[in-house]
Amino acid sequence: MNSENKANQTENPFLPEPARIVRTCHLTEDVKFFQVRIADMEKALSFRYRIGQFAMISVLGAGEAPFSISSTPSRPGLLEFCIRKTGLVTDALFGLKENDMIGIRGPYGNGFPVEQMKGKDILIIMGGLGAAPLRSVLLYCLDNRDQFGRVILLHGAKRPAEMLLIEEFLSLKEREDLECLLSVDQDDTGKWTENIGVVTTLFPKIKNINPSTTYSMVCGPPVMYKFVLNELLKFNIPKDQILMTLERRMKCGIGKCGHCAIGYLYTCLDGPVFTYWDVIHMRELI
Amino acid sequence: MKIVKLKEANLHSFLEEISKEADLWAPVKAAPDRYKFEFIQDLNKIDTDCTRTILPPRKILLPPSINMFQASEKEYKEDFSHVSKKIIFGIHPCDIHGILIMDDFFSHEFYDPYYMESRKNTLLLGHSCWPDENCLCKSTRTHIIKEGYDLFFSKLKERYIVWIGSSKGDDLIRTKANLFEEDISDKDIKEYAEWCDQREKAFQTEINFDALGDLMELMYNDPLWEELGNACLACGSCSNVCPTCNCYNVADRPALEKKYSDIKRCWDACTLESYSEVAGGENFRKKRADRLKLFYTHKFQAYISKYGKPACVGCGRCVATCPVDINVKTVGKSLDGEKVDAFWKRLSKEVTK
């Protein structure tokens, strides 16, 4: 039980904080990048979050929905989101421009266990929009590079035009302290110089994984999990060191509305980060 | 505990006095054999013989639809118009247990002001009751109540024993102190003990709730769930009538000119198809069987692992309400290996042929 929150009976936890869109641009045809700052400067700087947490974003007249935070808490002040146009709230968000106002509340959820991950090797596997929450992990590890062992990134997309933040990831290939492996299922441009094939075709390129000291993070479309998890088990990475972050319907973010319930857990409080063991144990997770 | 006595003939003058201070809600007859909690303007309408109301008293604390905010570009104006000083009279032990579960749910980890502010302004005046064939509260051990009420009225012949459960309850007694007697006689005690004995024997249905959590796990993939799913109408009635269903939906209701928007909070039900649907159309519980599993996980299992007791308080409302007889009684009994009810006979004839 979180005594800090329990004590707070004066503030309405459903009240969003006004925030300004600082920058927005298309990443792919249906995914946009949003850089947002809470209007009150003090509050913008004191918005403390952990990697893997999410925020509720509201658009006046359209509603409110949960979104993974794609920026890293090691760079406070601005919040970044990668958002796919897929429903009422996101339709409204896509109609907004720089300097338009939205509402934000959070951060919510458990996030990734940073303390346990310190000193360990980090293996990040992202597919499609799975880059949204895991970019936060990657940037955090790079900003605190001395605190982690190897950092390995596998990033897959259907086509080059559908790879989120493609320039950012291509430029990361220059870094010597990061093993950055990118892949597309199909190259329809003829200019792709990286791997071609589903994300699992990158696994043979990773050498000398030490399973007991490796934490792996996976996020992507549902079809990806089965194959990727299989590869990770072949590496003998312990099931409680394989972490994934899940999507569920949420109306509150704070364990009241019920929609994200899985068994006796709430994705918004006990997740969205779950271990592979949780997934086997709870049955309904993926 | 402080205990006093009230003549039945004096009940109305007491209720009249306290209803000057707060909105009085109590059970009234809605139709033959159907009762509902209603805001009382005529004390004669109160019916204390009611076994159960159609909707649980949580509708008084958090109505089916409330406005959370009136939002404009300038500000989010909080709306607490559903909060007022209230007294609920005639609430039975199972429903008080239900409210205690809700109190815990809406205050732990994060404080939900829309429920809690309403709750803080509400006094609970319990009333003793007599079970019918659908009451399961003895099995859920919620047929008696020792805490959580402000006053509790145990009906004896032409008089009440009134248990005072809180300081605020005591204040209510003091508004008309001359109506109450302090002395509890040996005759009162004897009569109360007899009433308790007879009530214990009056329960007709028993379910072993202790086993249901484990049985949910063991029978997770049992064809039982498909059978139930095929019969379920996905109408959401079981949730609406359940005292411990807390789920809600939130929707913006913009004004025509879009200058402002009402942000509404409405009851929701996990048995409805849209419940687990996310943007883009992916639905984590497309099948009715999967949604029923979630409902019964909450009622039979979730609370046992967290609080050591089921979330079902045995009020029997789902038993009285479900049009196709899927309820804690039939599901609980069939998990426990019994498929003898009329429901199962009909189901095997009509649905699975």
Q: pLDDT tens-digit profile of B25-39?
A: 999 999 988 999 999
Which of A2, A10, A57, A60 has the most B C-beta neighbours within 10 Å, making it the best mutation to test the interface with B?
A: A60
- In which band, very low, low, confident or very high, does the pLDDT at B126 lie, cut at 50, 70 and 90? very high
Q: Are A239 and A120 contained in the same domain?
A: yes
The whole-angstrom separation of Cα B325 and Cα B233 is 11
* Strand pairing class (A121-127; A151-157): parallel
- B283 secondary structure, DSSP code: B
Which of B73, B74, B80, B250 has the most A C-beta neighbours within 10 Å, making it the best mutation to test the interface with A?
A: B250
Instruction: Decide if A1 is inside a domain.
Output: no
- In which band, very low, low, confident or very high, does the pLDDT at B302 lie, cut at 50, 70 and 90? confident
Residue in B64, B68, B198, B152 with CA at minimum distance from that of residue A252? B68
Q: Which residue of A has its CA nearest to B273?
A: A259
Task: Name the residue with tokens 């062992």.
Answer: A149
Chain A residues with CB under 8 Å of B105 CB are 256
The whole-angstrom separation of Cα B107 and Cα B263 is 22
Q: Which residue of A has its CA nearest to B307?
A: A264
Burial class of residue B66, CB neighbours in 10 A (0-12, 13-18, 19+): buried
- In which band, very low, low, confident or very high, does the pLDDT at B286 lie, cut at 50, 70 and 90? confident
Q: Average the pLDDT over B131-159 and give the result.
A: 95
Q: Are A53 and A118 contained in the same domain?
A: no
Instruction: Decide if A264 is inside a domain.
Output: yes
Instruction: Decide if A239 is inside a domain.
Output: yes
| Residue A53, domain CATH | 2.40.30.10
What residues make up the domain containing A59? 7-108
Instruction: Decide if A2 is inside a domain.
Output: no
Instruction: Decide if A283 is inside a domain.
Output: yes
| Helix, strand, coil % in chain A, rounded to nearest 5 | 30, 30, 40
Residue in B296, B7, B259, B1 with CA at minimum distance from that of residue B145? B1
Q: Are A74 and A152 contained in the same domain?
A: no
State the total domains in chain A. 3
- pTM metric for this prediction: 0.91
Q: Are A277 and A169 contained in the same domain?
A: no
Task: Name the residue with tokens 């329990």.
Answer: A6
Give the rounded percent of residues in chain B with a pLDDT score beyond 70: 95
Task: Judge: B76–A65 Cβ closer than 8 Å, yes or no.
Answer: no
CA R_g for chain A = 19
**Option in B106, B220, B275 nearest A259 (CB):** B275
Q: Are A89 and A206 contained in the same domain?
A: no
Whether A16 has a pLDDT exceeding 80, the answer reads yes
Q: Are A69 and A165 contained in the same domain?
A: no
ipTM of the complex: 0.88
Q: Average the pLDDT over A157-172 and give the result.
A: 93
The whole-angstrom separation of Cα A54 and Cα A47 is 12
pLDDT in tens, B253-274: 988 777 889 999 999 999 998 8
Contacts for B146 with CB less than 8 Å, ≥ 6 apart: none
Whether B76 has a pLDDT exceeding 60, the answer reads yes
The whole-angstrom separation of Cα B36 and Cα B55 is 7
User: What is the structure's pLDDT at B121?
Assistant: 97
Instruction: Decide if A223 is inside a domain.
Output: yes
Q: Are A216 and A137 contained in the same domain?
A: yes
Q: Are A126 and A203 contained in the same domain?
A: yes
Whether A4 has a pLDDT exceeding 60, the answer reads no
